Amino acid sequence: MAKGTQSFTIQKSKDEVYRFLSDPTAVGSCLSFVKETENENGLHWRMKSPMSTITSTKSLALEFEAHPTGEISWRGQGDHLQSRGQIVLNEGKEQETEVDITMEMTGLGPMSIVIEPLASVQIANQIDYFSACVREKLESGG
């Protein structure tokens, strides 16, 4: 399992940040490996290429929870890949929100010998991309 964390502060209210991040489509749009969010026969994130090809995983069945306290979490399960994430929002100073992100990627089954080393190298880039995308979308109004 590859795991990474990152924190940042944004000049937006906790409610505004929560509204954005409590939407699985918005979260998926900021994950570099997600092509689109589908809600047909359950919630799924469809994977982008080359990640879908490398992991032999076309989509992740998604469990997504958002609690009004400011905690958001997901677990995406695919054929050979599992993605987990947790976001905790804390009120900062005037109209500031502290965003704490934890992401995990785990290879499953026989593909784990290929996925685990790749995930270990990529997890920091995944979190950097996610954080930058969230900041950009919130600062531009969503």
Reading the block at residue 82, the tokens are 């599992």
| Its pTM surpasses 0.85 | yes
| pLDDT tens per residue, range 28-47 | 999 999 999 998 878 999 99
| pLDDT tens per residue, range 61-103 | 999 999 999 999 999 999 999 999 999 999 988 889 999 999 9
CA nearest 104: which of 130, 135, 65? 130
How far apart (Å, rounded) are the C-alpha atoms in residues 46 and 20?
20
Write down the H helix ranges in the chain: 14-21, 24-29, 51-55, 112-139
Quick check: 107 and 4 in contact, CB under 8 A? no
Bond before 50 cis per omega within 30 degrees:
yes
Quick check: 65 and 73 in contact, CB under 8 A? yes
Domain that holds residue 66: 2-139
The domain total for the chain is: 1
In the three-class reduction of DSSP (H, G, I as helix; E, B as strand; rest coil), residue 111 is classed as helix
Question: What's 126's domain CATH number?
Answer: 3.30.530.20
